[in-house]
Amino acid sequence: MTMTRTRPGDDTAAATPSEIVLDVDGLSVEYAGAGAPVRACTDVTFQLRRGEILGVVGESGSGKSTLITALTRLQRPPAVTTSGHVVFHPQSGEPGIDLVPLKPRALRALRWTSLSIVLQSAMDALNPVMRLGAQFVDVLRVHDRSMSNAAAWEEARRLLGLVGISADRARSYPHELSGGMRQRATIALALACRPELVVMDEPTTAVDVVMQRQILAQVLRLRREFGFAVVFVTHDLSLLLELADRIAVMYAGRIVELASAEDLYRTPLHPYTRGLRDSFPPLHAPVTRLEGIPGSPPDLRALPAGCPFAPRCPAVMDRCRDILPPLLSHGDPDSPDARSVACHLHDEELIP
């Protein structure tokens, strides 16, 4: 097995540009304040293929939520993108669009139609004083001014049906729906204009396990039907193992491992990934004893010189405390199955 340095895009280098919907390269975000800046997201690089579901997982404070707001340009001061690019490649074959410097007007034109977002709380996405259907009608008609009011209401009812909500609910207000129904409605709303990319930020956190399973099954079915790609952020690795094609594990603002869901579950390379996997009940086996990860994430204002996981790592070595391990591609970097890890345990495998 060989390892080579990961350059931007190497993890999916076999894909041609038309197969890539999102190309994130060297993205860094800081929170400026009175003291040292908080480095919430550092040098994040990955590519997302059309129709792929990429899971992003990490504890709170790992930078995953900051990543989502930076990707979707929803971040607010004091968060600042200090470097990097987020390039969206339209399926039409038109040149890629870097979202980072995009003016608000151009960004609004892309929202819903090319890129849409499902937030953790459905009530943040839905207007509490508007009937559900009217909210769909607004979105549909802003992006297609030729659509009649009646056609938009018909489409709203059809979209609600896609997520198992009966058509007569279109006239309900959000507070008249259950939590699970509201969350499914926001997923239907996100799909209203047939986007190529949907970013989902912990969309099942506020619902019970049964509803969570229903929502995940619907996301998978709708993805098959419409072919959109998904970036799905959560703290729950077990959920991603069932949903995602590939998973990026974040720690202290960096991606520390990126692999297919199956590889990540069967042979996690990073000790943090192993700790996360062992913190959740196994997928298809009886629960024995769950191991947590001792300690807590580091202060992002004062990150250590070496590996940020070193104080918690059961495999820590001397070099870990002084040298930050770079994210390295594991195996043939030109293969779509390439995986990457940032850990000195795998250093020797990268020496040619």
Contact between 192 and ligand SF4 by CB under 6 A: the answer reads no
CB under 8 Å to 218, separation ≥6 — which residues? 162, 163, 164, 184, 187
CB atoms within 10 A of CB 251: 27
Q: CA-CA distance, 274 to 115, in Å (whole number)?
A: 32
Q: CA-CA distance, 140 to 192, in Å (whole number)?
A: 7
**x-marked contacts with ligand SF4 along 316-335 as a string, rule CB under 6 A:** xx--x----x----------
Contact between 315 and ligand SF4 by CB under 6 A: the answer reads yes
Contact between 253 and ligand SF4 by CB under 6 A: the answer reads no
Q: Which stretch binds ligand SF4 (CB under 6 A): 47-55, 159-167, 193-201, 338-346?
A: 338-346
Contact with ligand SF4 (CB under 6 A) among 41, 239, 307, 327: 307
What are the angstrom distances between the C-alpha of 65 and each of 90, 205, 265, 286, 340? Answer: 24, 14, 23, 32, 21
Q: Which stretch binds ligand SF4 (CB under 6 A): 162-170, 291-299, 315-323, 327-335?
A: 315-323
Footprint of ligand SF4 on 18-37 (CB under 6 A): none
Contact with ligand SF4 (CB under 6 A) among 55, 268, 271, 297: 271
**Closer to ligand SF4 at the Cβ: 3 or 118?**
3
Q: CA-CA distance, 118 to 53, in Å (whole number)?
A: 14
Q: CA-CA distance, 84 to 335, in Å (whole number)?
A: 24
Contact between 251 and ligand SF4 by CB under 6 A: the answer reads no
Contact between 305 and ligand SF4 by CB under 6 A: the answer reads no
Strand partners of residue 249: 57, 257
Q: CA-CA distance, 292 to 279, in Å (whole number)?
A: 5
Q: CA-CA distance, 234 to 155, in Å (whole number)?
A: 30
**Closer to ligand SF4 at the Cβ: 3 or 343?**
343
**Closer to ligand SF4 at the Cβ: 302 or 315?**
315
Contact with ligand SF4 (CB under 6 A) among 310, 327, 328, 338: 310
Under the rule (CB under 6 A), what is the footprint of ligand SF4?
A: 270-271, 307, 309-310, 313, 315-317, 320, 325, 343-345
